[in-house]
Chains A and B, each alone.
Chain A
Amino acid sequence: MVMKRICLIMLTAGLVFGLSISKLFAQGNNGQDHFLVFGCGACHGIQGEGTVLGPSVAAGALSVDEFISYIRQPTGSMPMYPPDTLPDTMIQEIYDFVTPEVQQQSLAGRVDIGEQVYRSKGCYQCHANEGQGGAQGPRLGPNPISFPRFSWYVRNPNGGMPPYTEIVLSAQDLADIYSFLEERLEPPSLSDIPMLLL
């Protein structure tokens, strides 16, 4: 765990911790073309920012595999795009278009401070005291999603989660919370909890 954090710090050493702009125009715009030609922008906005007809797809919450899978088997009112209409390679380019370059963790997180911040910023309200999740929010730890995806989601959540801008949650806060989640204990084996066995 410590090595992982050191690597992250090395990767981003010297960088300013903050939101970067989208890779919107750095991809040769193939993805953008596909996005508009296939009508994605009609519901999700021209940059995938979301409209009343469709949610934001620029939140970076899905992996590319999940993104492809969803397009193949969408829920709600979104039409299904089969591979012969929209191949995986083109979806990959759309993914690159709508998925912004996410921030890397440049600040070392502090577990003890993280526990306090996790509470004071209200994360426990939906995700419970230990990040184990509950009726109002999913489990966050241990083994949280990658820090870039975590940070992007916190700033740009889908669904009902309130957005946390840098004004209300600093980069250091975010790093501290993430460290707290990383350090949560693995649960006991089910075989050690007889009352949870059927």
Chain B
Amino acid sequence: MTKSRDPEEPSIERRRFLQHGTLAGAAAIIGSSASDKSQSQEITQETASRPVAPVMTAEDEAAPPAHAQVMSADERSGSDFMVDVFQSLEFDYICANPGSSFRGLHESIINYGGNEHPELITCCHEESSVAMAHGYFKAEGKPLAVMAHGTVGLQHAAMAIYNAWCDRVPVYLILGNHNDAALRRAAEWYHGVQDAADMVRDYVKWDDTPWSLEHFAESAVRAYKVSMTPPMAPVVLVVDGHLQEAPIPIDSGLHTPKLTIPTPPQGDSGAVEEAAQMLVNAEFPVLVADRAARTPEGMFLLIELAETLQAAVIDGGSRLNFPTRHPLNQTHRAGNGAPPINREIISQADVILGLEVMDFWSTVNSLRDQLHRSVSRVAKPDAKLISITTGDLYIRSNYQDFRRMQEVDLAIAADAEATLPALIEAVKRLSTRPRRRVFEARGEKLAEASRLTEENTRIAASYAWNASPISTARLCSEIWEKIKNEDWSLVSSYYSDGGGWPRRLWDFDKPYQWLGHAGGGGIGYGAPASVGGALANRRHGRFSVSIQTDGDLMYAPGVLWTAAHHRIPLLSVMNNNRAYHMEMMHVQRMCNARNRGVDRANIGNELVDPNIDYAQMVRGLGVYTEGPIDNPVDLGPALERAIAVVKRGEPALVDVITQVR
């Protein structure tokens, strides 16, 4: 264990003297330049009367040099050791907007660590850093690290952390802070905080403020382990400025604990058997999956369960749980395209299995949002409900993302993906020949329903085909036409989902092709999460595409500069409908509920006058752009040109003026 302070190091008074000496030296250089005779002759009377930096005097020059403080060859910094620990955790990247409270760690990453594993990603906003980490994890299955000031940086990052919390996504936050008040520079006082993690403690899974490097190593590994154990969530590690910056002996003997990720909890065998029996006996079982596919394997397990039972599947969309064109996928059947809940299917079910469903209550009930809100049950009153979720293992109080309490008949507190193999095995074992014949007949009906849904979807997409502004169906069809033969990944969230059209029209059959939701509904997630997803996809050679909404991009557009700077290939296609239409719809609801009319509901919701030229704006960030495009005929060629740029390894943006839905 290293000492937190060397008793032989200069006292605080000595450091202040040295600091003043350093400043004086710097001023002397400036002063020396200013004392040049020819320049001094040009100084006006007015300028000369203002305070100027002191010039170096002969007395100053004669003074002995200040003690130069640099690390000796047998020393290294505390933050060098921190980089060792982070490299043991195999972080690929670390996102940060630079900040002095973690300057020591910053320097160690780029010099001691060689800017590899992790590589520093330059971000223009801490919200972008965290949302990039959020999107990256969902494409790669590994967390990104994020550095930020413990005060102002964390305040910027807070909304994105909340999104990750609600989405049960691990983000590894490293907050700089100068804990020892006696050592703080002036700026470190308003960037200093007693308990940095307090502000976000309600929506992170664990945090710590290590007081020594040994403490740091244990907490750093523990934080990673905690964040990656389902239910996953963000974690915070506060790293003291002095701990980062103070030298330690090279042979300090500090130990980095071995990382062992716990196996996720599997459902109790008796409960799994009971669930299997209920599913086998059911006449119309429905499998609802939301965050079930925790890894790529999750989708294939759900396919196996669904095909064994020939049961209807509804994909809630927080992950890609089920292929969109699988004949048992009934997500969009008889609906108008708005996932996640297909009430027609739910209302037929006699057994409903919820797999990591974040809102089971709204799956089987409906709340009518009118002047007087009312609720009704969608599921049959005697339908049996089964839940398998880690949501039963961990819950917090303050923020209400745990949703309304839903009574169920069998609650299995476990990780759904980890439980699926045992459930599949039990279902196969309990399925008799007569039951399998029932399953086959059911599957044929569901497949026919799926076929009709696909046909109706294509017809629905054809309406307003040639309209301007461009319909969202046309927008998504044109994109699909251009990318369908690539190894593509749609990295934008459902807020940017083009009215739900991609999952209705495109053939999603690989887990990385859909990265799910923002989690907490915080707008501004889409653009940075897309860049994060594209960063992960880059190493796999996948083609990343984002349907980017205008309101979302305006929160922190600088993340597209990050994409340009780090050569992150991403095709962003603007769904530019020039308003916060979801919010306008809510205001309209209020207007009519109060019988005042909706005519002024645009006030405060539109992004017009002036219209924002995203092509021009983003071009200034170093990104290739096309548009604005409002004629559907021009869209295909513009996409082709932008795709060529992305294939060269750079980001590109096509600004498309679209309809609201």
Contacts and interface: CB of A to CB of B under 8 A. Distances in A.
Do A and B come together as binding partners? Answer: yes
Interface of A: 50-55, 75-77, 120-122, 124-130, 132-139, 159-160, 162-165, 167-169, 184-185, 187-188, 190, 193, 195-198
B588 A125 contact: yes
Nearest to B454: A198
11 contacts: A122-B585, A129-B471, A134-B472, A134-B660, A136-B338, A162-B589, A162-B591, A163-B593, A168-B591, A168-B595, A193-B477
A136 B585 contact: yes
A125 B581 contact: yes
Nearest to A121: B598
A196 B458 contact: yes
Interface of B: 336-338, 343-344, 347-348, 368-370, 374-381, 454, 458-467, 469, 471-473, 477-478, 480-481, 499-500, 505, 581, 584-585, 588-589, 591-593, 595-599, 601, 659-661
Nearest to B365: A76
Contacts of B370: 160, 162-163
Given A76-B376, A139-B463, A187-B462, A134 B661 contact: yes
A193 B601 CA distance: 36
Given A75-B344, A160-B369, A195-B477, A132 B598 contact: no
B606 to A, nearest CB: 12
B367 to A, nearest CB: 9
Contacts of A185: 464
Nearest to A50: B374
Given A121-B598, A126-B585, A164 B592 contact: yes
A135 B593 contact: no
B459 A187 contact: yes
A124 B472 CA distance: 13
Given A134-B660, A160-B369, A162-B588, 17 more contacts: A50-B374, A52-B374, A52-B376, A77-B377, A120-B598, A121-B599, A126-B661, A127-B661, A129-B467, A132-B471, A133-B336, A134-B336, A134-B659, A135-B337, A160-B368, A184-B464, A185-B464
Contacts of A167: 595, 597
B471 A122 contact: no
B464 A132 contact: yes
Contacts of B473: 132
Contacts of A138: 336
B660 A187 contact: no
Contacts of A120: 598-599
A195 B454 CA distance: 14
A138 B462 CA distance: 14
Contact of A129 (B379, B591, B599, B660): B660
A135 B467 contact: no
A133 B592 contact: no
Nearest to A194: B481
A61 B348 CA distance: 22
Contacts of B462: 187-188, 190, 193, 196
A136 B337 CA distance: 8
A52 to B, nearest CB: 5
Given A76-B377, A163-B592, A190-B459, A137 B467 contact: no
Contact of A53 (B344, B376, B378, B500): B376
B660 A125 contact: yes
Nearest to B364: A76
Contact of B596 (A137, A163, A168): A168
Contact of B480 (A75, A125, A163, A195): A195
A163 B343 CA distance: 23
Contacts of A130: 463-464, 467, 471, 659
A52 B367 CA distance: 10
Contacts of A137: 336, 661
A159 B588 contact: no
Contacts of B595: 165, 167-168
B588 A129 contact: no
Given A75-B347, A132-B460, A188-B462, A196 B477 contact: yes
A133 B471 CA distance: 10
Contacts of B585: 122, 125-126, 136
A160 B659 CA distance: 21
B599 to A, nearest CB: 6
B598 to A, nearest CB: 4
Nearest to B589: A162
A143 to B, nearest CB: 11
Contacts of A54: 376
Contacts of B499: 134-135
Given A55-B376, A121-B598, A190-B459, A135 B592 contact: no
A190 B500 CA distance: 20
A187 B592 CA distance: 32
Contacts of A129: 464, 467, 469, 471, 659-660
Nearest to B466: A188
A162 to B, nearest CB: 4
Contacts of A121: 597-599
Nearest to B338: A135
A167 B593 CA distance: 12
Contacts of A127: 661
A133 B660 contact: no
Contacts of A133: 336, 460, 463, 661
